[in-house]
Amino acid sequence: MSDNTNPVPEPTPQDDADRVGVSKSYLQISSNQPPKLFYVSNTIDSSEASSKTPIALKLWSSDSGHTEHQLTCTVRVSYTEQKRIALPVSCADSSQAKADPEANASSVSATYATACCGTTSQEKGRCAAEFSGLGASGSSGYLEGYSQQKSGHDIVWLKSLAQDLASDNGNAPEKLSVDLIDQLLISRLELDPSGMSDDLEYLPVLVSLPAGQSVFEYLVGAWKRSNATRTALGKKNIPPMDMQNGFAKIDKVKELIISYAGLIIQEPEMFPQPPRQDLGPPELIKPLLSLSALSTPLFSSPNASPTTLLPTEIEQFLFDLARRADGLAGADAGWRGVIGGLEALVSVKSIAAMITRLDEWIPADATAVTFESVSLMGPLCRLGLFGREWPAISKSYFTEPEKRSREDVDSSFATLRGTLKSLQSSLFKIFDALVRASPASREAVLQYFAHAIRLNGKRAGMQVDPDTVASDSFMLNLQSVLLRFSEPFMDASFSKIDRIDPYFYAHSKRIELGEETRIKATSEEATKWAEQNKPTEAPNFISNIFFLTIAMAHYGYLKTIDTYNNTHKQMDDVRRHLEYLQGDGSWMGSPLQARVEAALKLVKVEEAKIRMQQLAFEAGLMDPELLIRSINFMNFLSVWLIRQADPKKKHPSPMVELPLPKEVPMAFRCLPEYIVEDIVDYLHFAVQTSPDKFELTGKTELLLFILTFLTSTWYIKNPFLKSKINDVLFMSIWGYGRERLGVLGNLLNTHPMALKHLMPALMHFYIEVEQTGASSQFYDKFNARRNIAYVLKIVWNNPAHRTALNEEAKNVDKFVKFVNLMINDVTYLMDESLGELAQIHNIQVEMDDQDAWNRQTPQYRQEREGTLRSLERHASGYTTLGRSTVELLKVFTAETKAPFMMPEIVDRLAAMLDYNLQALVGPRCQDLKVREPEKLKFNPKELLGNILQVFLNLSDQEKFVQAVAGDGRSYTKELFDRAADIALRRGIKTQTEIDALRAFVERVEEAKATLQAEEDLGEVPDEYLDSLMFTVMKDPVMLPSSRAILDRSTIKSHLLSDSKDPFNRAPLTIEEVIPQPELKAQIDTFLKERREKKMQVDTD
């Protein structure tokens, strides 16, 4: 490359008038002396420039002392394709008596000059000679330069690079390899034919370069030559392996050429260029126009320049340009030039319109896997960060994740996200330009998105082979583009929401729902609805973008989030296996040590690999801009969805009235279920991982979506979706940063819709989740109710919510059902958690006896350790659920007591409380003593305090006193005395509270004595006994189908949990039971007679 840092000084003695427009040049007379710099001092007529007649050129020079010398050289002019080459014959120094002995024909035999015709008015018809020298004959520079000359200048001597490589290799010869291609190409592109250089032996190389050729033209020629070379190689009879290796090397060269072609289109000044006006995008625009049906084909001559693109070559060149990108990060940033070049091209509307007409825009035979490779935009859209497609990024940025600090990881995130932002911004600009180019190109862009969705329907499956569908990066980038297209119609006032066609799925085949599940319609109903709503006109652009964005999220973005979530499950499995292998360490020092250590090493490698994948996912999925755009879109979608359910179709201005009508509109029912699912899944992800992104916007929309579909659950058929909505609410009150109450905590206590509808919504769902129809409903309900309990805890101190609870309690049947379910949960969860704690205690005691433990076989110890770990996992879950339900019971009994005193509730409540109190402070309470109870979420002091508080809350209710007294299984006065002593000693309750508890126990004792006296009835006829409880009935009723007779309170209690006859499982409601007044009269008479008889005996 020319070095212009020390330009040759202009000699002052010579008048420049006769050298107007003549290029400066110089001639090295001797390689053994300091160079003398010569300037052309005369011009020659072009008519004189003959290849036969020698011409005398007069030059003058100036050495370092500015001593002037005259030199006359005789030259012969020969012609090449683009230049006249003047070869010296002899030279003489006319300023001296004798010519310089080294300034003769032999010493400058390697010297030549280039004669260039003048172009200005002053130079018209005249030529100037430009001299340069290669150096002394026999030097390495001469030999390299001679090789270039001999090749007809098809080979270019890259002297500077050769010297650098020789220096790096200790002057050893450098063997040409593919690894040097990048350096070779850059060195060639950096050569400037019109630049100045003080390297006299390299000037012929610069002079030989084609005059006026742009860098892009050179790259086109190189691309064409590489194609020709590849074709020629394919015709040779060589071994297949050698041919493939050759193809790989040629393809590497082509990729590099294309990369720089893209860069040059975008930034034409990055390398030396001739002084032309058509550099950059115009260089490709002109040949592209030859493909347009609106223009005359250009460059159609078969004799076109080797640096010109023919119409038959343009499509392939453009496709190679788009396909070039190899990755987002690292040393290979060629995609920037490619995408920048394409961005520049589509800024010309005629080019943009033409591009979407190419066959490569949507290749006919593309599959889900190949579409991102063979479509024109695919190779750029598939660039990304995720480990499966781009493992080099994980290795470069996240290797040895366990050793990386948070700052290091954040720095990597910032770098990668900045790169991803640049890519996605450019992709949007390209697609946006295409959309704006013409109606046809707009339609082609919509078809492109729709085709990508259509091909990847399998991505929505539960278990998908990633090798059969498009990559996560491809789908995510398309999602990013669509989100940007959506922004203009997602204003804060929702002013354009009514422009979205609610009948889009009936009016358009753009998105094929096929067998997709609908929100609450059968496939037959959906088909009939579509036929009844046939389109009168095609949906507008806004509707197309809106529904394409929904679908792209479902098949793309959300599935990538699923993949990321699955890595957490994989990590849990790996870490459990690691824990299993480590065991108690007894393998150390044993013959098994080497084997165990090898296994541990493999597991740790897998652990690191998964963590690297997670970090790569987090870099892409949790990019702040992507999160905010996605949250905004999902909230907009939730508002639109509620609007479709709103009978007035006006939401959010004014807000929808809740609960919704029981009749669900068919247009809403026929929407694909994945709309609701994707809203819920994404909000769950965003609230859990990036709650801070809701600080500016989206909280109100999130709240209204939750309230709408928890108060009106009949609008959604899928029970899992309903539970997920409840999960989102739960996640939304997790604290983060300075927000102690999470995303929605404050809004739940202030927003009018929350104050009015939250409590009814939670109670309604608490009841509904009991029967979901799912095989896992028994366990699912505990998680859902734990979430509800946690939400209630957050809002309980708000008087408005307690008032709402009391309003709900007025619906006695509903509230009693709610209370019954709560008691059932506490009974089961406390029994399970305390039982598993006792088992954990036993294993820990066994392990504490080291001598006995060590005598056990390794297999036995390993099995017991595995059992312990399993019990710990289960116990922590049960104790958490049990604790939350007891807390719920505590606050509810403090606020409203009447529902807990219903006959079907009060006895069961008392028995449950007594049983758990006995477990906590009774004779076997030591069995609950475990190591690290906090690890198991077990806080016996807190649990005891909550249970005692329930007793205190209900202690003023006579029915509750009677119920406790009637519990013959667990209640004893001694149990309560012990509980009171522990609570006072441990500071669980105050003295005042303990005094109230003791007073309650005294009343229970009095009631117990009375009950015992009344129940000593002797033998009771079987027909007077309850068929389930075997107690004397007070209000007997007959079940209509099984004809069994039970007490009314018994069957009411049963129906609260199960709506079927307990004897034959036939459906049953309390209204269907048949009163038995005659039997009731008999029982009453029997009881009266027995009491009178007993009183007579006592009197005697």
Q: For residue range 619-636, list pLDDT tens digits in order.
A: 999 999 999 999 999 999
The answer, yes or no, to whether residue 704 has pLDDT greater than 60, is: yes
The β-bridge partners of 78 are 85
Find out whether 375 and 448 touch, Cβ atoms under 8 Å: yes
Q: Determine how β-strand 44-45 pairs with β-strand 55-62.
A: unpaired
Under the banding of pLDDT at 50, 70 and 90, the label for residue 462 is: confident
Do the beta carbons of residue 134 and residue 57 sit within 8 Å?
no
User: Which pTM does this prediction carry?
Assistant: 0.72
Question: Rg for the chain (alpha carbons), in Å?
Answer: 44
Task: Indicate whether 789 pLDDT > 80.
Answer: yes
Which residue has 């008519």 as its token pair?
Answer: 47
| pLDDT for 579 beyond 80 | yes
Q: From the CB of residue 467, how many other CB atoms can be counted at a distance below 10 Å?
A: 7
What sign has the CA pseudo-torsion 667, 668, 671, 675? Answer: positive
* pLDDT confidence bin for 1097, thresholds 50/70/90: low
How far is residue 253's CA from residue 1055's CA, in Å, rounded to a whole number?
Answer: 78
Tokens linked to 29: 């007379």
Q: How far apart are CA 258 and CA 926, in angstroms?
A: 77
CA–CA dist 234, 192 (Å, integer): 35
pLDDT, tens digit, 9 for 90 and up, residues 161-190: 888 887 777 666 666 777 888 888 888 888
CB count within 10 Å of CB 141 equals: 23
Q: For the range 14-23, what are the long-range contacts, defined as Cβ-Cβ under 8 Å and sequence gap of 24 or more?
A: 14/39, 14/41, 14/60, 14/68, 18/42, 18/43, 19/43, 19/128, 20/120, 20/122, 20/123, 21/118, 21/119, 21/120, 21/122, 21/123, 21/128, 22/128, 23/116, 23/128, 23/130
Under a CB-based contact definition with an 8 Å cutoff, are residues 506 and 535 in contact? yes
The answer to whether 772 and 780 are in contact (CB under 8 A) is yes
List, for residues 859-868, the tens digit of each pLDDT value. 888 888 889 8
CA distance 761 to 726: 10
pLDDT tens, position by position, 323-339: 555 555 443 455 776 67
CB atoms within 10 A of CB 113: 27
Structure token pair of residue 185: 């190409």
Question: Could you say which DSSP state residue 914 is in?
Answer: H
Q: What is the mean pLDDT of residues 1020-1036?
A: 89
- Cα–chain center distance at 95: 80
Q: Is 88 helix (H, G, I), strand (E, B) or coil?
A: strand
Q: Which residue has the tokens 């098949």?
A: 555
Spell 1034-1045 as b/e; 16+ CB within 10 A means b: ebbbebeebebb
Mean pLDDT of 836-844: 91
Phi, psi (rounded to 5 degrees) for 766: -55, -40
CB hemisphere CA count around 1045 (13 angstroms): 16
Please tell me the predicted confidence (pLDDT) of residue 150. 46
Greater model confidence, 146 or 339: 339
As to burial, measured by CB atoms within 10 angstroms (0-12 exposed, 13-18 middle, 19+ buried), residue 147 is: exposed
Least confident segment among 191-205, 906-920, 1000-1014: 191-205
Least reliable range by pLDDT among 489-498, 577-586, 826-835: 577-586
Which of 493-502, 580-589, 728-737, 807-816 has the lowest average pLDDT?
580-589
Q: What is the pLDDT of residues 1013-1023, one digit of tens each?
A: 766 667 888 89
- Show the domains of the chain with their CATH numbers: 16-156+191-208 (no CATH), 214-355 (no CATH), 623-809 (no CATH), 846-1015 (no CATH), 1022-1099 (3.30.40.10)
Q: How distant, in Å, are the alpha carbons of 181, 225, 256, 864 from that of 337?
A: 17, 21, 11, 62
Compute the Cα dihedral for 537, 541, 543, 544 and give only its sign.
positive
The mean of the pLDDT values for the chain is: 80
Say what angle helices 1048-1057 and 812-848 make with each other, to 10 degrees: 70
pLDDT of the residue at 914: 94
Instruction: Please report, rounded to a whole number, the percentage of residues in the chain having pLDDT higher than 90.
Output: 42
Token representation of residue 124: 């018209």
* pLDDT-based confidence at residue 248 (cuts at 50, 70, 90): confident
**pLDDT per residue as tens digits for the range 214-238:** 888 888 888 788 888 888 888 888 8
Best-predicted range by mean pLDDT (47-56, 153-162, 385-394, 721-730):
721-730
> For residue 295, what pLDDT is reported?
29
DSSP secondary structure string, 1041-1084?
A: TT--EEEHHHHHHHHHH--B-TTT--B--GGG-EE-HHHHHHHH
Determine what percent of the chain is predicted with pLDDT higher than 70. Answer: 78
What does the alpha-carbon distance between residue 541 and residue 558 come to, in Å, rounded to a whole number? 24
Statement: residue 948 has pLDDT above 90 = yes
Question: Strand 68-79 relative to strand 1036-1038: parallel, antiparallel, unpaired?
Answer: unpaired
pLDDT of residue 998: 95
The Cα 126–Cα 84 span in angstroms is: 13
Q: Using CA atoms, how far apart are residues 603 and 582, in angstroms rounded to an integer? A: 11
State mean pLDDT over 714-735. 94
Backbone φ and ψ for 965, nearest 5 degrees, come out as -65, -30
- Taking the C-alpha atoms of residue 356 and residue 436, their distance in angstroms, rounded to an integer, is 12
Say if CB 500 and CB 543 are below 8 A apart: yes
DSSP assignment, residue 1025?
Answer: B
Residue listed under structure tokens 């390495």:
140
Average pLDDT for residues 658-683, to the nearest whole number?
A: 96
| Side-chain half-sphere exposure of 945, counting CA atoms within 13 A | 11
CB 1011 within 8 A of CB 966: yes
Scan for tokens 């079907």, then name that residue: 904
Helices (H), 690-776: 699-711, 719-731, 745-748, 752-768
Where residue 16 falls among pLDDT bands split at 50, 70, 90? very low
| 961 close to 1004: Cβ distance less than 8 angstroms | yes
For 806-829, what is the mean pLDDT? 89
Q: Does 659 sit behind a cis peptide bond, omega within 30 degrees of 0 on the bond before it?
A: yes
- In the numeric block, the tokens 């309390």 are attached to 1070
Rounded CA-CA distance 680/682 in Å is 6
pLDDT tier, 482 (very low <50, low <70, confident <90, very high otherwise): very high
Q: Is the pLDDT of residue 886 over 60?
A: yes
Enter the tokens of residue 730. 């739960």
DSSP, res 557: I
Quick one: CA torsion of 1092, 1098, 1099, 1100, rounded to 10 degrees?
Answer: 110
pLDDT of residue 310: 55
Tokens of 453: 């969705």
- Examine the pLDDT at 542 and tell me if it is beyond 50: yes
Is the pLDDT at 108 greater than 60? The verdict is: no
Distance from chain centroid for Cα 27: 64
Instruction: Report the pLDDT value the prediction gives residue 281, as an integer from 0 to 100.
Output: 63
